[in-house]
Amino acid sequence: NQINLRLILVSGKTKEFLFSPNDSAADIAKHVYDNWPMDWEEEQVSSPNILRLIYQGRFLHGNVTLGALKLPFGKTTVMHLVARETLPEPNSQGQRNREKTGESNCCVIL
């Protein structure tokens, strides 16, 4: 069984790839780098190590597998692909900002 990923660049260009549930975010970045689509030439990066996947608004760390995300077989899953040197620490920045300002993330619906 394979998982179909539609990867979207910041430019809006998309390409679909098939991956195994055992493939990690780092494996996907390497595969895409090694098989860089010709119509993405303007967005070519210097190394697979700076390619990052974003799924449901979160950066995926290199060791996370598609299987761990419980992605469905036979359906297309959309992820964003960006070039970024480092990843933000999980939740640390937002938490620190809330502590400093005393703000919370709640809302009132009338």
Domain boundaries, the chain: 1-81
Distance CA 37, CA 4 (A): 16
Give the long-range contacts of residues 28-37, CB within 8 A, separation 24 or more. Answer: 28/53, 28/66, 29/53, 29/62, 29/81, 32/7, 32/81, 37/13
| pTM exceeds 0.75, yes or no | yes
pLDDT of amino acid 1? 86
Using only C-alpha atoms, the chain has a radius of gyration, in whole angstroms, of 16
Amino acid 16 reads E
Mean pLDDT value across residues 64-86: 93
pLDDT of amino acid 102? 56
Do residues 79 and 58 lie in contact, with contact meaning Cβ atoms separated by under 8 Å? no
- Is the pLDDT at 92 greater than 80? The verdict is no
Nearest-5° Cα angle at 32, 59 to 64: 35
Q: Which CATH number fits domain 1-81: 3.30.930.10, 1.10.10.10, 3.10.20.90, 3.20.20.10?
A: 3.10.20.90
pLDDT of amino acid 106? 59
